[in-house]
Structure 1
């Protein structure tokens, strides 16, 4: 039995789909679980986590708290150890633990990774680059004829398709050869946000423009939108790190695990974005 946390999210739902297609027994954990094979649980409810991990062999650990914190990872790990879970596949992020000025990139992921590695369970770390699916948030902006805010300037990133992240996760969950490995997951090309916009423009046949949003401006806008200060700090730090060129990284890890090249950003866009006479839309 495999437990998938974050089962309704950008990566988790693809993990669930692939496990189902492969005939692997799984539970899809969510606060509002859909359909058969799902389990209702909340990271802030230890009793629900204990129920979720009962009889489980491996866990796909994906947490996305509103305020960056390792607390949800630690709560799940405690329940997993108590239940005798054998292995953990942790979704982290590229650049975790790197120093950038006076701050540490992905400090909450770093703390969670440390806890996973010392948990006594077999583990695999997945550190994906910027998600192609982040462009989902552009649809309404494009439809309104507005430029897409660009927090990372000309910084280029190895934009990765979440379907590839999920496919690597399933391999790690089902094959012990990946235990003790840390995979940095990227797409096949380095792209800045303006370059992504130009590719998307070609896919949808409609102008897609961008506007640079420096860190100070991004901080003001995100705080004004009501995001918690800690979440704003994490977002702006990560964006500034990429803006400075530190995420201009390509690896062969996706191809090494899956035996095929990773998908391109254009592949993702062609599969997910649709345009009709009503404007921009998204097919998920």
Structure 2
């Protein structure tokens, strides 16, 4: 049965992959702040302009939707999920699939981002809609931020470069989301989504070097250096949240592997090596 599915954050890393999966069989409403940018990125479906920070207009954007996928990221402004939940109720949406973070299950994780993710989950649990939470580890695609350094021959600089993280391929997240939006048995479930093995930044750099068949150096940052870099790009509170998260990773908090990608999709999640092979052109 064809469904009408709204994707909030359709231009994001997971959202644009999800629209491609869904568009083959369903009517996709791709909600995005910038339809022009979304079109340039290849987002599928009907591009619907939507500002999640403004409540007005979201009812119309969600009109007729059977289900909603939500990927928001602004821990300094909780209104986005509040507005989407209110509009989803008013529009008669039945089910929401919310992209969350696996850190919410760690009682030692009390940084700004994790607290915000917990609050978002609580909001959707109280929304009156049925819900599914996709609690993801770090995206493998985060290392695309290294592409400029790798292409130029500069070192890849990270904090705690030997700390393991069971990072996940965003394509696996998108496929899991598609199953949760369109299939039965996912209401009230919270899935822990990881890759098949924990890898460190230094190991990721080594994978890239082997695939590129040339040296790629890794450089260890101090906490002060990393914090200064994050503060240059993000609000100070968010930069400190990233530092707290890095410290937990260094303590081993992000190394465990979960079976839920295979549980939902029926296949083993992609390795970092497989992800890197598909995206190698970005580093050439």
Fold similarity call, TM over 0.5: yes
Q: Paired residue for 1:12?
A: 15
Displacement of 1:103 in angstroms is 4.5
Q: Paired residue for 1:261?
A: 268
Q: CA RMSD in A?
A: 1.8
Displacement of 1:76 in angstroms is 0.6
Displacement of 1:152 in angstroms is 3.5
**Mean Cα displacement is larger for which, 67-76 or 124-133?**
67-76
> Which of 48, 51, 61 matches 1:52?
61
Q: Paired residue for 1:274?
A: 281
> Which of 48, 62, 78 matches 2:71?
62
Q: Is structure 2 residue 235 aligned with structure 1 residue 233?
A: no
Asked if structure 2 preserves the Cα contact closer than 8 Å seen for 1:2 and 1:26, the reply is: yes
Displacement of 1:171 in angstroms is 0.3
Whole-angstrom CA distance in 1 between matches of 2:241 and 2:153: 29
What SS does the corresponding residue of 1:274 show, helix, strand or coil? helix
Q: Paired residue for 2:42?
A: none
> Which of 78, 94, 109 matches 2:117?
109
Paired positions, count: 274
Q: Paired residue for 2:250?
A: 243
Whole-angstrom CA distance in 2 between matches of 1:84 and 1:173: 15
Q: Kindly provide the CA deviation profile for residues 104-129 of structure 1, in whole angstroms up to 9, marking residues without a partner as x.
A: 76111000000011111110000111
Asked if structure 1 preserves the Cα contact closer than 8 Å seen for 2:100 and 2:135, the reply is: yes
Asked if structure 2 preserves the Cα contact closer than 8 Å seen for 1:98 and 1:105, the reply is: no
For structure 1, the residue ranges without an aligned partner over 5 or more in a row are none
What SS does the corresponding residue of 1:140 show, helix, strand or coil? helix
Whole-angstrom CA distance in 2 between matches of 1:105 and 1:50: 27
Asked if structure 1 preserves the Cα contact closer than 8 Å seen for 2:112 and 2:238, the reply is: no
- Structural mapping, 1:166-205, within 5 Å: 166-205=174-213
Is the alpha carbon distance of 1:245 and 1:117 closer, same or farther for their aligned partners in structure 2, counting shifts above 3 Å?
A: same
**Mean Cα displacement is larger for which, 208-217 or 47-56?**
208-217
> Which of 89, 92, 99 matches 2:100?
92
What SS does the corresponding residue of 1:28 show, helix, strand or coil? strand
Q: Paired residue for 2:28?
A: 26
Whole-angstrom CA distance in 1 between matches of 2:203 and 2:32: 35
Whole-angstrom CA distance in 2 between matches of 1:214 and 1:184: 31
Q: Paired residue for 2:162?
A: 154
Q: Paired residue for 1:165?
A: 173
Asked if structure 1 preserves the Cα contact closer than 8 Å seen for 2:103 and 2:109, the reply is: no
